């Protein structure tokens, strides 16, 4: 595929501005629904989103420290290295005592089928953390490039190498990434790292399908080998994927598709040499991947510890020794 020639950020944004002036209102196609969004629809959508973001923010108005740009990852001992098989919760550190006493405050329980989906979204996206983020690049059937982040993302298998991405659908507008994957059967996933998280976040804007988020992001296309969509040159990891399977998800006793789960077969992986360790794994210190927590919060990986995988042979001996 011929990639667009490199353009400077200013020229790219100028092109976008011209495009927006020329095409005015935004034509958005949703399965079975076609409508024109007026600028007042968009203003309302943006107000709703701002209100949602501020409701969400955990950090209130306290002043923030500067981002600590020095490499942050370090290994420590595990929290409770002297723990023995079958031993009940030990209260070694202050924070473990607090963790135990917090339990006394009791539990809140949600009956999911009686909870509005907005509340479920807020609850689960802040509870199921940290989530890795897939930076997904696709091309539309007409060749328009598209780039957006998705944190309903995981690795699901290594033989064959499969990843999953899930798209939340709204009757108001389609997810261009989903449309493009269904149309072209291919995409790439790049891993987002600290160096370009703001640029990656900018591509989550709900722009019309004919807007190229690459130009907003200032990021660079790296040519793929096995698929047509490019991956992100600034990323330390780029995965070229073919569509393996899709699964439309409807709530029980409804035929409204609310999500589409996509499985992608990784055909080729690109990893920066500088992040590779000698043992064939990626060094988390160098990768500096960011993850998604609830609301607008991203997190970096600060510390790690190793807890060896248990062996039944060793464990059996330990159990027998405890019995005597």
Ligand X SMILES: Cc1cc2nc3c(=O)[nH]c(=O)nc-3n(C[C@H](O)[C@H](O)[C@H](O)COP(=O)(O)O)c2cc1C
Positions in the binding site for ligand X (CB under 6 A)? 133, 146, 148-152, 166-168, 175-177, 201, 204, 206, 292
Give me the residues paired with residue 238 across strands.
Answer: 190, 270
d(CA 196, CA 133): 13
DSSP per-residue string spanning 172-238: S---HHHHHHHHHSEEEEEE-BGGGHHHHHHTTS---TTS-HHHHHT--EE--SSSSS-EETTSSEE
d(CA 252, CA 292): 28
Beta carbon of residue 114, minimum distance to ligand X (angstroms, whole number): 24
Q: Nearer Cβ to ligand X, position 50 or 98?
A: 50
Beta carbon of residue 150, minimum distance to ligand X (angstroms, whole number): 4
Q: Nearer Cβ to ligand X, position 150 or 244?
A: 150
Query: Among residues 285, 270, 275, which one has the least CA distance to residue 223?
Result: 270
Beta carbon of residue 15, minimum distance to ligand X (angstroms, whole number): 18
| Four-CA torsion 171, 173, 177, 178, nearest 10 degrees | 20
Q: Nearer Cβ to ligand X, position 176 or 186?
A: 176
Beta carbon of residue 103, minimum distance to ligand X (angstroms, whole number): 31
Whether the Cβ atoms of residue 209 and residue 28 lie closer than 8 Å to each other: yes
Beta carbon of residue 100, minimum distance to ligand X (angstroms, whole number): 33
For 144-174, the three-class secondary structure string (H helix, E strand, C coil) is CEEEEEECCEEEEEECCEEEEEEEECCCCCC
Q: Nearer Cβ to ligand X, position 176 or 240?
A: 176
- Residues near 114 by beta carbon (within 8 Å), at least 6 away in sequence: none
| Four-CA torsion 216, 222, 223, 226, nearest 10 degrees | -110
Q: Nearer Cβ to ligand X, position 96 or 296?
A: 296
Q: Nearer Cβ to ligand X, position 35 or 100?
A: 35
Beta carbon of residue 154, minimum distance to ligand X (angstroms, whole number): 10
């Amino acid at each position: 595929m011929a990639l667009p020639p490199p353009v400077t950020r200013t020229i790219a944004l100028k092109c976008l501005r011209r495009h927006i002036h020329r095409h005015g209102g935004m034509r958005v196609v949703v399965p079975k629904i076609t409508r024109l969004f007026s600028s007042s629809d968009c203003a309302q959508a943006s107000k709703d989103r701002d209100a949602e973001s501020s409701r969400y923010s955990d950090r209130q108005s306290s002043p923030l420290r500067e981002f600590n740009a020095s490499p942050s990852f370090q290994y420590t001992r595990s929290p409770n290295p002297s723990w023995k098989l079958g031993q009940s919760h030990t209260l070694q550190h202050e924070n473990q005592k607090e963790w135990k006493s917090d339990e006394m405050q009791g539990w809140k329980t949600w009956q999911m089928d009686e909870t509005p989906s907005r509340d479920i979204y807020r609850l689960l996206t802040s509870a199921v953390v940290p989530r890795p983020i897939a930076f997904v690049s696709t091309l539309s059937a007409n060749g328009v490039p598209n780039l957006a982040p998705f944190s309903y993302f995981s690795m699901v298998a290594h033989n064959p190498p499969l990843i999953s991405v899930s798209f939340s659908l709204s009757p108001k507008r389609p997810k261009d990434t989903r449309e493009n994957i269904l149309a072209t059967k291919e995409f790439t996933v790049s891993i987002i790292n600290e160096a370009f998280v703001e640029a990656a976040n900018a591509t989550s804007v709900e722009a019309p399908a004919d807007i190229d988020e690459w130009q907003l992001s200032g990021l660079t296309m790296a040519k793929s080998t096995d698929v047509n969509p490019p991956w992100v040159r600034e990323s330390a990891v780029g995965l070229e994927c073919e569509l393996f399977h899709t699964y439309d998800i409807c709530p029980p006793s409804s035929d409204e598709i609310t999500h589409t789960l996509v499985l992608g077969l990784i055909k080729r992986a690109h990893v920066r040499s500088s992040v590779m360790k000698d043992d064939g794994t990626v060094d988390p210190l160098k990768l500096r991947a960011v993850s998604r927590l609830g609301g607008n919060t991203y997190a970096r990986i600060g510390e790690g510890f190793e807890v060896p995988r248990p062996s039944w042979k060793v464990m059996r001996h330990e159990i027998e020794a405890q019995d005597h």
